[in-house]
């Protein structure tokens, strides 16, 4: 048995950190060193679209654009997770840096043409804005802000290249949310990001989601990769059982990454002899997800191996849902993400070594999926499998925490199959012949 390829022992923080990413020559990123605290960004105190109507004073205490952004982020923190707030903060910083170094105007003075130019910039950013790393180099992303509130000069808004279509839509959606908040708060009179037409959602999103599913062959390869992990020593057994537990946790519950990273063992609970998991989802909405028997067994094995008693958590068990090997602290979302990606790639290696030049279509598809899979694909798999098993769509919506049934129905492959079958009826039944009777 061999170690998982590219396994990262520093997931637990007990090994030296990976090599730091190589920054650009100082001459090329020197102008990104922002020393203002808070950053000025030509602060927008007299921005073109600032509200100056004395009869409608702003509803937020902000004298400039950056203070307005802080009000927005604090508002998001009331209803969103820390992960969500960090994502919004990143998009705001990315835009404000562009305002300073490319648009040469504050956020509150941006026009529609500026918004369109920024969308193009997200896809093809300037080299100074991209973190350059050597191929295969592991690194820990630098934090966006320093402890004193200044932007970290080692941080870059992009890694390796610009954003893809899906990430561009996410970025623009965050700025639309920011702009809507500031317009509604009467800080701005108008914003180009609130107009329609920017980064429209792909009409083929359903087909894209259905490609991001681990089918039976891919799932079997992942299982085999985890089973092949070394387990002779106590540390090896702990590491192996934790990988099995983490994979099963996402596979059988369809959790979002931050829902698992921020949860404790007390999320597992019994109601009328049925086991559930309590998840804190988007908008800080709590939902209960049914826990299937295979996950219960994996949970018991994980707790036993990691010296957690009893085998099923008690209501007051505040141990992390997934902890470091020494049990001291929870694994962060980035560590969970890296752990799962390594498992996917190990599954891909299992398929690659098994096909030996005689690959069938199913193996090729599974290999491609596991080479590109991200942890969120397990959520797509969860929703798709529930539909394929005939589960009521209303129950699937509740399990996944969707606010809209339209989102849930994206995972319904059966609808297309039924539509195709119905369409075949036209050729299966003989068409009636036109009448040849002629009235006398």
Average pLDDT over residues 381-400: 94
Share of the chain above pLDDT 90, in %: 50
Structure confidence at residue 134 (pLDDT): 59
Average pLDDT over residues 138-149: 69
CATH class belonging to 18-201:
mainly alpha
Of the two residues 133 and 195, the one the predictor is more confident about is 195
Average pLDDT over residues 24-41: 41
Intrachain domains 18-201 and 211-420 with the same fold: no
Structure confidence at residue 436 (pLDDT): 61
Q: 40-54, 98-112, 299-313, 397-411: which has the minimum mean pLDDT? A: 40-54
SS (H, E, C) the chain: CCCCCCCCHHHHCCCCCCCCCCCCCHHHHHHHCCCCCCCCCCCCCCCCCECCCCCCCCCCCCCCHHHHHHHHHHHHHHHCCHHHHHHHHHHHHHHHHHHHHHHCCCHHHCCHHHHHHHHHHHHCCCHHHEECCCCCCCCCCCCCECCCCCECCCCCCEECCCCCHHHHHHHHHHHHHHHHHHHHCCCECCCHHHCCCCCCCCCCHHHHHHHCCCCHHHHHHHHHHHHCCCCCCHHHHHHHHHHHHHHHHHHHHCCCHHHHHCCEHHHEEEECCEEEEEEECHHHCEEEEECCHHHHHHHHHHHHHCCCCCCCCCCCCCCECCECCCCCCECCHHHHHHHHHHHHHHHHHHHHHHHCCCCCHHHHHHHHHHHHCCCHHHHHHHHHHHHHCCCCHHHHHHHHCCCCHHHHHCCCCHHHHHHHHHHHHHHHCCCCCCCCCCCC
- Summarize pLDDT for 317-351 with one digit per residue, the tens: 999 999 998 888 999 988 999 999 999 999 999 99
Domain boundaries of the chain, sorted by first residue: 18-201, 211-420
- Of 3.30.1490.20, 1.10.443.10, 1.10.10.10, 1.10.10.60, which CATH number belongs to 211-420? 1.10.443.10
Average pLDDT over residues 141-165: 78
Structure confidence at residue 138 (pLDDT): 55
Q: Give this prediction's pTM.
A: 0.66
Structure confidence at residue 202 (pLDDT): 52
Average pLDDT over residues 407-425: 75
């Amino acid at each position: 048995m061999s170690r998982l390829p590219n396994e990262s022992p520093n997931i637990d923080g007990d090994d030296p950190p990976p090599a730091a990413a190589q920054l650009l020559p100082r001459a090329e990123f020197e102008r990104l060193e922002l020393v203002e605290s808070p950053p000025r960004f030509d602060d927008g105190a007299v921005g073109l679209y600032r509200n100056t109507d004395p009869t409608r004073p702003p509803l937020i205490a902000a004298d400039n654009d950056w203070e307005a952004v802080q009000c927005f982020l604090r508002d998001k923190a009331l209803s969103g997770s820390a992960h969500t707030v960090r994502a919004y903060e990143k998009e705001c910083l990315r835009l404000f840096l562009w305002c300073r170094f490319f648009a040469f105007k504050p956020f509150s003075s941006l026009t529609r043409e500026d918004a369109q130019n920024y969308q193009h910039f997200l896809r093809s950013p300037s080299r100074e804005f991209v973190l350059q790393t050597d191929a295969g180099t592991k690194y820990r992303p630098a934090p966006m802000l320093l402890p004193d509130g200044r932007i970290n000069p080692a941080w870059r808004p992009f890694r390796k290249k610009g954003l893809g279509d899906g990430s561009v839509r996410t970025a623009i959606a965050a700025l639309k949310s920011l702009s809507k908040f500031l317009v509604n708060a009467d800080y701005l009179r108008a914003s180009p990001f609130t107009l329609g037409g920017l980064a429209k959602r792909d009409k083929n999103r359903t087909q894209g989601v259905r490609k991001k599913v681990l089918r039976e062959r891919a799932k079997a390869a992942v299982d085999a990769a985890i089973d092949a992990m070394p387990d002779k020593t106590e540390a090896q057994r702990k590491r192996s059982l934790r990988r099995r537990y983490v994979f099963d946790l996402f596979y059988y519950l369809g959790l979002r990454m931050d829902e698992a990273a921020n949860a404790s063992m007390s999320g597992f609970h019994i109601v009328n002899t049925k086991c559930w998991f309590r998840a804190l989802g988007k908008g800080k909405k709590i939902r209960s997800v049914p826990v299937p028997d295979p996950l219960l067994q994996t949970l018991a094995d994980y707790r036993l191996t990691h010296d957690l008693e009893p085998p099923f958590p008690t209501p007051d068990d505040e141990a992390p849902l997934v902890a470091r090997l020494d049990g001291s602290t929870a694994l962060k979302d980035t560590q969970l993400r890296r752990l799962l990606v390594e498992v996917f790639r190990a599954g891909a290696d299992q398929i690659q070594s098994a096909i030996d030049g005689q690959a069938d279509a199913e193996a090729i598809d599974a290999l491609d999926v596991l080479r590109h899979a991200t942890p969120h694909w397990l959520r797509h798999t969860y929703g798709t499998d529930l539909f394929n098993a005939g589960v009521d769509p209303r129950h699937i919506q509740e399990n996944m925490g969707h606010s809209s049934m339209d989102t849930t129905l994206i995972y319904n492959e059966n609808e297309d199959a039924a539509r195709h079958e119905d369409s075949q009826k036209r050729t299966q039944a003989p068409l009636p012949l036109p009448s040849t009777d002629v009235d006398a």
